């Protein structure tokens, strides 16, 4: 349906146009690092809908997985990633991830990133489903340390311009070839065309389709939805990771209590002060995330309580101040003293395993359109992401895209791009409360498309969301909130469709009506495409 291919009407002749060798959408770790590894002879525009320092990557606490210990190896990291991924990982991509991890960590250390040290070496901790200590960290604000240093570096680069408060509305394509992007500039309320035949989508995930998420407000999946409209393949959309331990407090249900806290020995207790994880999995509190989240969900159901508790009271204050300063301080601001009190926690949405399908060089099925980071689906996470593989993914696959640019850009000359189009579709002034629709979508997704799913709930959710989708398909778009609402409704619809299709349980996708893993029929990815 060409009429709804673009969200806004435009005549390319009337729009201000810029040309760049490379356009990167998104300013989290994947986007900024990609800009840094592309040779400085190329001119790059980073397009970000907020300011450059606002992203999901900045909030990452735990760390980055890399096999540095003498008892560890890329092979063991590979094995752990595959086990967590529950049979759906793409082995070629995982090999790239684990083998190229250390070189990329070296590179960001050269950009000034300061990880915690033990003696002369980087300090290593453990997180769920890792068989060795291999998580490097910067206190409990690893994402912020990495992003701060990468952003400081990118600001010094003369070949990189940063366009803030600029919303990438749609990909401009012609016969499945990417020509650039259509951007809504919030400051001037005007449209611009950024033309390039090398566009990288690094816009992150879409945690905001759920009521409680560790993701920031900006995580509405806009890049994945523009890719879908343009005909990019999406993969593994049914797999949504719920982090087991998110603060459960009347004023805050989105603050992450890092898995590293369990990695350092914290125990999960139910409302009777009983430890319950040993009866669910041999790795107890450090079992894969999907298993811990479902165990907590089950304890909450049995006890009819809205949360369980995390206990780290046995550690000394000085230790906690040093290792988890941000968690200690934030909990204290809600009257929870980690040295004396149990931390109330419950699972909340944390990470989307699915996204824009790419190969190991970030290539999609649209020529000239690439993706990396959480927006991409390289297949490394399979049905359930191994802890601390996500920042690493942003680095390794950002670097792979950087490797390609030289060869690819030599073949093309961005200044000669032609893109001419008039898009004119009569949109309707539909009167409805958009904020209420967003809240309803989040409620429906949380209730029927969360940790435990079944046919009845998914079908109910599909009917509701399809009604909303019919409205957003036709409505007028005037603000960034309008575009975000479109992304939230569209991506909810796609998650539900994939979840209905997968009639088995695997990793983060648990169907109460098909509770077994069915390797015979379902050891395969669900790939969807608009047209």
Phi-psi bin for 32: left (phi > 0), alpha (psi -120 to 50), beta?
Answer: alpha
Q: What is the per-residue DSSP string for 108-159?
A: HHHTT----EETTEEP-B--TT-SS--EE-STT-HHHHHHHHHHHHHHH-TT
Contact 133, 140 (CB under 8 A): no
Q: Edge to edge, what strands does the sheet with 240-247 contain?
A: 240-247, 343-352, 308-311, 267-269
Identity of the residue, 81 or 525, whose beta carbon is nearer to ligand SIN in the bound complex: 81
Please report the DSSP string for 242-267 in residue order: EEEEEE-BTTBS--B--HHHHHTT-E
C-beta of 256: minimal distance to ligand SIN in Å?
A: 6
Residues lying near ligand SIN in the complex (CB under 6 A) are found at 61-62, 256, 258-260, 387-388, 390
- Please, which residue, 129 or 202, has the CB nearer to ligand SIN? 129
Our CB check for ligand SIN shows the closer of 259 and 311 to be 259
Please tell me the distance from the alpha carbon of residue 205 to that of residue 222, in angstroms, as a whole number: 8
Give the shortest CB-302-to-ligand SIN separation in angstroms. 25
Positions marked catalytic: 289
* Element spanning 174, H or E: strand 166-174
Nearer to ligand SIN, 197 or 258 (CB): 258
Give whichever of 39 and 265 is closer to ligand SIN, judged by the CB atom.
Answer: 265
- Scanning the structure block, which residue is given the tokens 């000394």? 316
- In whole angstroms, the minimum distance from the beta carbon of 449 to ligand SIN comes to 20
116 contacts 139 by C-beta, under 8 angstroms: yes
Residue 316 CA to residue 308 CA, distance in Å, equals 23
Report the candidate in 391, 315, 401, 294 with the shortest Cα–Cα distance to residue 358. Answer: 401
Query: Measured between alpha carbons, how far is 528 from 359 in angstroms, rounded to an integer?
Result: 16
Q: Least CB distance from residue 126 to ligand SIN, whole Å?
A: 12
Q: Which residue lies nearer to ligand SIN by CB, 256 or 458?
A: 256
| Backbone angles phi and psi of 453, in degrees to 5 | -125, 160
Tokens 């604000």, located at residue: 141
Place of tokens 């320092």: 53
Q: Which is nearer to ligand SIN, 211 or 289 (CB)?
A: 289
Residue nearest to ligand SIN (CB): 62
> What is the nearest approach in angstroms of ligand SIN to the Cβ of residue 254?
13
Distance CA 358, CA 528 (A): 13
């Amino acid at each position: 349906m060409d009429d709804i291919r673009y969200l806004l009407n435009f005549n390319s002749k009337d729009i201000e146009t810029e040309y760049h060798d490379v356009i990167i959408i998104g300013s989290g770790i994947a986007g900024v690092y990609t800009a840094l590894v592309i040779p400085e002879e190329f001119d790059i525009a980073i397009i970000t809908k907020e300011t450059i320092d606002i992203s999901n990557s900045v909030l990452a606490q735990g760390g980055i997985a890399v096999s540095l210990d003498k008892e560890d190896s890329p092979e063991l990291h590979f094995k752990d990633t595959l086990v967590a991924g529950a049979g759906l990982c793409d082995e070629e991509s995982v090999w790239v991830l684990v083998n190229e991890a250390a070189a990329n960590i070296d590179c960001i250390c050269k950009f000034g990133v300061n990880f915690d040290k033990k003696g002369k070496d980087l300090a290593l901790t453990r997180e769920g489903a890792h068989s060795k200590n291999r998580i490097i960290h910067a206190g409990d604000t690893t994402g912020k340390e990495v992003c701060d240093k990468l952003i400081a570096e990118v600001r010094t680069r003369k070949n990189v311009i940063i366009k803030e408060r600029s919303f990438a509305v749609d990909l401009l394509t012609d016969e499945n070839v990417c020509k650039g992007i259509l951007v809504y500039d919030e400051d001037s309320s005007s449209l611009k065309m950024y033309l390039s035949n090398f566009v990288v989508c690094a816009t992150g995930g879409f945690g905001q389709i759920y009521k409680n998420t560790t993701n920031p407000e900006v995580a509405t999946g806009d890049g994945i939805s523009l890719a879908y409209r343009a005909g990019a393949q999406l993969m593994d959309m049914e797999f949504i990771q719920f982090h087991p331990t998110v603060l459960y407090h009347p004023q805050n249900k989105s603050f992450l209590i890092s898995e590293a806290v369990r990695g350092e020995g914290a125990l999960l207790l139910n409302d009777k002060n009983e430890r319950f994880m040993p009866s669910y999995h041999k790795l107890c509190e450090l079992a894969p995330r999907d298993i811990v989240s479902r165990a907590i969900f089950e304890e909450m159901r049995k006890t009819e309580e809205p949360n369980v508790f995390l206990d780290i009271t046995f550690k000394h204050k000085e230790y906690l101040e040093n290792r988890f300063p941000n968690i200690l301080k934030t909990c204290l601001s809600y009257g929870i003293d980690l040295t004396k009190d149990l931390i109330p926690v419950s699972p909340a949405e944390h990470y989307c395993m699915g996204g824009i399908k790419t190969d190991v060089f970030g290539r999609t099925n649209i020529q000239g359109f690439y993706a990396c980071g959480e927006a991409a689906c390289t297949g490394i996470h399979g049905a359930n992401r191994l802890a601390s593989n996500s920042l690493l993914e942003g680095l390794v696959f950002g670097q792979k895209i950087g490797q390609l640019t030289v060869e690819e850009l030599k073949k093309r000359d961005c200044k000669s791009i032609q893109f001419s189009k008039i898009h004119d579709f009569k949109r309707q002034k539909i009167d409805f409360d958009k904020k209420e629709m967003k809240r309803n979508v989040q409620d429906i997704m949380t209730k029927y498309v969360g940790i435990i799913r079944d046919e009845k709930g998914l079908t109910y959710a599909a009917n509701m969301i399809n009604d909303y989708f019919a409205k957003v398909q036709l409505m007028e778009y005037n603000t960034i909130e309008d575009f975000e609402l479109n992304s939230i409704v569209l991506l909810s619809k796609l998650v539900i469709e994939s979840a209905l299709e997968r009639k088995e349980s695997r990793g983060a996708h648990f169907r109460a009506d098909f509770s077994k893993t069915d390797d015979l029929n379902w050891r395969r990815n669900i790939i969807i495409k608009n047209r």
